[in-house]
């Protein structure tokens, strides 16, 4: 279990950071281009950024698990070695 979390956390952190960058940029554009939000721009930016921090965390954790599972499936498949005439692992 510790190995799973230790491997899953860096993958999730990459998706978490990327997701927050995308949502922050979308929030800045939304506040800048939507006139009713411009009056209280600081408040709405704080709301959008806070919501993105909360929403992105579980989404990134799930995506990290999916990517980890895909990497594990690739390791499980037996592939023939280019240097050998038969597979190096039992199929």
pLDDT at 6: 73
CA distances from 51 to 19, 23, 24, 70 (A): 12, 9, 10, 29
The predicted pLDDT at position 69 comes to: 66
> Which of the 8 DSSP states describes residue 90?
-
Residue 80 falls inside a structural domain: no
Q: Under DSSP, is residue 31 helix (H, G, I), strand (E, B) or coil?
A: helix
Residue-wise pLDDT tens digits, 32-62: 898 888 888 889 889 988 999 999 999 998 8
Which pLDDT score, from 0 to 100, does residue 81 have?
Answer: 61
What is residue 51's predicted lDDT score, i.e. its pLDDT? 92
Enclosing domain of residue 60:
2-74
Structural domain total, the chain: 1
As given in the structure block, the two tokens for residue 7 are 């491997």
Q: How far apart are CA 57 and CA 62, in angstroms?
A: 9
Residue 79 is assigned to a structural domain of this protein: no
Q: Read off the pLDDT of residues 6-33 as tens digits, 9 standing for 90 and up.
A: 778 888 899 999 999 999 999 899 888 9
Domain presence at residue 32: yes
């Amino acid at each position: 279990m510790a190995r799973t979390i230790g491997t899953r956390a860096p993958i999730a952190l990459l998706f978490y950071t990327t997701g927050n960058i995308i949502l922050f940029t979308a929030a800045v554009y939304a506040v800048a281009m939507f006139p009713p939000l411009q009056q209280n721009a600081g408040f709405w930016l704080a709301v959008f950024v806070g919501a993105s921090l909360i929403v992105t965390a579980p989404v990134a954790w799930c995506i990290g698990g999916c990517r980890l599972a895909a990497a594990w499936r690739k390791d499980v498949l037996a592939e023939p070695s280019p240097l050998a005439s038969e597979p190096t692992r039992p199929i």
